[in-house]
Structure 1
Amino acid sequence: MTLGIELSRLTLQYKDTRALDEMSLRLDGGKIYGLLGRNGSGKTSLASVIAAFRPQTSGEVLVGGQPPFENADIVSQICLIREGGDVFDSDRVSVALNFAARFRPNWDADLAARLVDRFELPLRKRVSALSRGMRSALGVVLGLSSRAPLTIFDEVHLGMDAPSRAAFYEELLADYLEHPRTIIISTHLIEEVVSLLEEVVIIDKGRVLFHEPTDDLRERGVSVTGPSAAVAEFTAGLTVLNERILGGTTQVTTFGELGAEQRRAAKAAGLELGPVPLQDLFIHLTAKERRS
């Protein structure tokens, strides 16, 4: 079972702050999505509304074709894991896991036990006594073991060290391939997860800037390097996101697909064309001067 998501003019207002601004978006079920945005862009607010942690101010959100808020049948199929894990600090780790097992209809106890061993979680410790990394690992175990048809990880892995994050990505992909579902990963560590993502959603100021297959978005970013005059001539009329100059050499980041003829012209002009990492592309696309 997988769950798709449909948003129509979704708005969320906190007093004087509009966290989500008439956002419209459709996410088909059964894919891994990357939700990208700068701090304050609305990522956590969006995840909270989709998971029915809070109602929207206006507009519509449908999960599996139904409004999720105060809908027990749908909510039981959604698992949102935030960085803190959303567990009681006074509980022991074993109690937090047992609680999830009782209320998650798709809970896989064998997977949970294996992940507890892999991340070396101390079952007898209270959550409040866990390090930040261990608490993040607990969130990962809860999220993956829930096997929820819609699972959302909201920066849950930020507290983990690099080897633990790598283990998380490995476990997530392996379990997703064996048990397909809809997974949303909200993260700042873009290059670490890019190989997992089938589609990317970039939001800013509560609105969707881009929603595209990951490979399509990456192909639209091109670095152009060469003699400054030749670079300037070639990029005239193109969308330039960034420019770096060193002596007589210029490197420009452009956004937009280049056709075969343009690529031949670049080669003839002695220019070097190269890919742009998704994280760099994200930084340029959401730069302050482009957001204002």
Structure 2
Amino acid sequence: MTTVIEVKNLTKRYRDTLAADDVSFSIEKDTIYGLLGRNGAGKTTVMSILTAQNFATSGEVRVFGEHPYENARVLPRMCFVRESQRYPDDATATHALRMARLFFPRWNQELADRLVAEFQLPMKKTIKKLSRGQLSAVGVIIGLASRAEITFFDEPYLGLDAVARQLFYDRLLEDYAEHPRTIILSSHLIDEVSNLLERVIVIDKGRILMDEETDAVRGRAANIVGDTARVESFVAGREVIHRESLGRVTSVTVLGELTDADRARVAAEGLDIAPVSLQQLIVRTTQHADTAQPAAAEGVL
């Protein structure tokens, strides 16, 4: 695989807030990534630095092997569709797409026209008068029609209804299959986008918690459900990232693949194994990291 983005020891501090904390990772060519995490986790900060719209406090960022800031060899090859994109007050959707066509050398007008029709975007209305969903559609259309070698989508679905979101997912996969490129997708709707993602990077409080292929992530945890005493006996010695009980029934989420012997024991004990969705795993891993931090800090003291 060819690496198109290399991040080493990236740190970004806003006064008392550490938005990115010694972050290191790489992004490979022609792969769809999920950049996932809670609000304020540092996702937008990292994407802004990678696209030269923000500055790192320290660390090193290379895109196509070069520093991206004010680099005409790099910037036209990237597209950043962000949630809070601003346009001139009198700009219409027509103006926005015309500007995008001038900036992105791989722009495909035929695809843009098709998406405008499918999203039913009013092209002559000023952008400031568009609904939240229509504004999101402008960004989605630019991101897809740009066919940039690296495209960042930062919460692209905001305001889109379920039908429009599915249209976005379908067109993204369809065009990606015909015109591969690197796509970094930030989204809170993890289960909705999970089938799109080939690799996930999870950020929490400015740190990388997970950087793995999606298929590997799906198999790294399981829910064990059943009689509380038997469940607790089975999970003893395993890494538990979530536990909940109702009466005498307990569900425990454990990390690590279950062996054939594990599954045989679960069946013999009358317990059930329930799958863990990508969203559940990421949420519970993040929660587990939060609860583990104070204990780790106490150990240091």
Deviation at 1:90, TM superposition (A): 2.1
State the TM-score, normalized to the length of structure 1: 0.96
Partner of 1:75: 75
1: distance between equivalents of 2:30 and 2:187? 19
1: distance between equivalents of 2:277 and 2:229? 25
2: distance between equivalents of 1:17 and 1:72? 31
Aligned to 1:9, the other structure's residue is in SS state strand
Partner of 1:174: 174
2: distance between equivalents of 1:243 and 1:13? 34
Maintained 8 Å contact 2:3/2:26: no
Partner of 2:36: 36
Aligned: 1:159 with 2:159: yes
Aligned to 2:11, the other structure's residue is in SS state strand
Partner of 2:10: 10
Partner of 2:224: 224
Maintained 8 Å contact 2:101/2:107: yes
Maintained 8 Å contact 1:84/1:156: no
**Unaligned ranges ≥5, structure 2:** 295-301
State the TM-score, normalized to the length of structure 2: 0.94
- Give the AA of the match of 1:222: A
Maintained 8 Å contact 2:226/2:270: yes
Partner of 1:47: 47
Deviation at 1:89, TM superposition (A): 3.5
- Give the AA of the match of 1:225: V
Maintained 8 Å contact 1:238/1:255: yes
Maintained 8 Å contact 1:3/1:182: no
Deviation at 1:290, TM superposition (A): 4.0
Q: For the aligned residues, what is the CA RMSD?
A: 1.3
Partner of 2:244: 244
Q: Deviations over 1:257-291 (max 9, x none)?
A: 22222122211111111211111111111114245
2: distance between equivalents of 1:291 and 1:142? 41
1: distance between equivalents of 2:3 and 2:91? 31
Deviation at 1:3, TM superposition (A): 6.5
Aligned to 1:286, the other structure's residue is in SS state helix
Aligned to 2:74, the other structure's residue is in SS state helix
- Give the AA of the match of 2:208: V
**Unaligned ranges ≥5, structure 1:** none
Maintained 8 Å contact 1:84/1:136: no
Deviation at 1:55, TM superposition (A): 2.0
Q: Percent identity?
A: 47
- Give the AA of the match of 2:16: D
2: distance between equivalents of 1:14 and 1:78? 25
1: distance between equivalents of 2:292 and 2:183? 29
Measured at CA, do residues 279 and 134 of structure 1 come closer, stay the same or move farther in structure 2, by a change above 3 Å?
same
Q: Deviations over 1:219-252 (max 9, x none)?
A: 1120001111110100001111112212221111
